[in-house]
Structure 1
């Protein structure tokens, strides 16, 4: 079962967005890593997820995208496309995970993440 593990807030002014969420909701915003500011939204002993804020790319300049953990990213991409999704960014490799961005059949942005 794919579980939502993170959220991404895309903004053309990520520093301003980070300041807003930090001031209003008390989120802890970490240092930028590849232009991505990790966000801690609360204590791990309570329900909720963490996420991040980054400058939105041209294909997703503003909005929220969920990250869904999968066991096999290539299989999940294939199944997603067969079910009507479109690939925005195919499988990318990072130090600790693989990541892909898609748009579901009704236009919602999603990320698929496979931890190594």
Structure 2
């Protein structure tokens, strides 16, 4: 079996996207542009040895997709212990709601947002009492 080991988030404005993900999720970023030949920031999403994957935010070869348009990449979902607090941080950092908070009955709260580059991503709060 193959496992996901890396992700890439494309952005028209790489610095703005890096700032967004640092502010909302506390990710660390390192400029790897000299290796890629274009704006490319490696991101570490959590401590080494804990479950999860790391990735990068890279220059999009064109304009950002329009809100409501087709998804131009994978939708990543990030875990959170507090859906509402994370949603508030997303909106304060310039993100917008794509699909509002919904219950996955008996499992979790899930919702989808647009980042500052109109990429769609999800947040997921485990909660066996979600209804």
Report the TM-score when normalising by structure 1.
0.49
Bigger Rg, which one: 2
Report the TM-score when normalising by structure 2.
0.44
